[in-house]
Amino acid sequence: MTGPLFWALVVVATLTSLGTAWALGANSNSPPFAPAIGANAISTMRAAFLIGILAALGALTQGGSISETVGSGLVDGVAFTSLAATAGLLTATLFMAFGVYTGYPVPAAFATTGAMVGVGLSLGGAPAVDTYRRIAVFWALVPPVSGGLAYLTATLLRRDDVPETVGVPLLAAVVGGIVANVRLSVIPSETGEQGSVAAYVADLAGSPVVGGVDLTVVAVTLLAAVASFQFIRRRTQESVETGVKTFLVALGSVVAFSSGGSQVGLATGPLENLYGTELGLPPLVLLGVGATGILGGAWMGAPRLLQATSREYAQLGVRRSIAALVPGFIIAQAAIALGIPISFNNIIISGVIGGGLAGGSAGVSRRKVGVTLGFWLLTLVTSVGIGFGLYRLFAAVLGG
């Protein structure tokens, strides 16, 4: 089909994808800089500007793996048409709009994944059971891992025998070492996949591999960790407050970048077949659509949300805020490497709870946690059914 109806559906699907990306840019990418704003380390408007740029760059350079999973890995035997993509994205967007309107924390990853599974099954596809198993295991591990890492991080920062001139730089070293191994599409690799700075240097050096470990990769990782440690340590020695603020801005930057890479696939994945197979366009074009939506959402929608969330993080305190963001960065990069769609808010909420437990009380009722988890599961299940029915309705009306 290449007639007027086809092109009309292409336009509608693209606009729907842009709208979804806009919503993600305005909501899911805001938490990383909220602690820095709460600590008066950066202004709200400057943070919104940086969020847009960094999240868009993350979308362009890291969004391919999750976009591919959402677009072709959730259902076997079928390819999503423009009509199917529109039905799935509209279903997910309706759930996110409901969450904004009611105040319930609707996870975009749950809504989008469920919607696309429902649409795929409605197309006649077969469930991709292995993919579901991988995603379910990862999602189930997010709360305990994020909460556990946040608990350990907050405990380190609260220890009296570990001064902040050591504890904060140690966390900076961990983040710096991971950054050296973050895989980006702009870095070439001998395997043809995305490469990292550490792996690229190792390829250039032609270093030996001992016991399956590339010594140059280890050396570059340690070098990045040491450099990060020394930089933040000097800042904290000059002034603890200045050092902490510097780390908050740097941490917010890498988390915002990771958020863009992990979230854009939720908006672009349903259009993978349309743009790649039917239109014959390179993947970067589709990621560019998502990055544009995320950029617009961050610049236009994030300032209001940042002001609200920054007050919440200010009440949490600097230590608990850092404890929530460090695991967020680690888990987001793990999800990107594995191509698993995730809810960034899920990670952050789990981290906040874990960080609170380090102080003896999470400050969150068990009932509220239970209601939130139940609503997330309800979102996943009902989005499958609505996606299935909405595509059937569209197909009956438009003959798609």
Residues 173-217: pLDDT tens digits? Answer: 999 999 999 988 888 776 656 788 888 888 888 777 777 788 889
Rounded Cα distance, 324 and 90, in Å: 31
Report which DSSP code applies to 32: G
- Residue-by-residue DSSP string for 237-278: HH-HHHHHHHHHHHHHHHHHHHHHHHHHHHHHGGGHHIIIII
Q: Are 147 and 358 in contact (CB under 8 A)?
A: no
The string of pLDDT tens digits covering residues 84-129 is: 999 999 999 888 877 767 666 678 899 999 999 999 999 999 999 9
Report which DSSP code applies to 184: B
* Tokens matching residue 48: 């919104």
Mean pLDDT for 363-388 is 80
* Tokens matching residue 187: 């870095």
Rounded Cα distance, 127 and 44, in Å: 44
pLDDT given for residue 162 in this prediction? 83
Mean pLDDT for 9-38 is 84
Q: Are 164 and 243 in contact (CB under 8 A)?
A: yes
What is the pTM (predicted TM-score) of this model?
0.89
Average pLDDT of the chain to the nearest whole number: 85
* Tokens matching residue 325: 């963001």
Q: Which of 3-7, 61-65, 144-148 has the lowest mean pLDDT?
A: 3-7
Answer whether residue 280 shows pLDDT above 80. yes
Candidates 273, 264, 262, 261; CA nearest to 71 is: 273
Answer whether residue 223 shows pLDDT above 70. yes
Report which DSSP code applies to 68: H
* Tokens matching residue 118: 């429902």
Q: Are 151 and 360 in contact (CB under 8 A)?
A: no
Answer whether residue 390 shows pLDDT above 80. yes
Q: Are 281 and 2 in contact (CB under 8 A)?
A: no
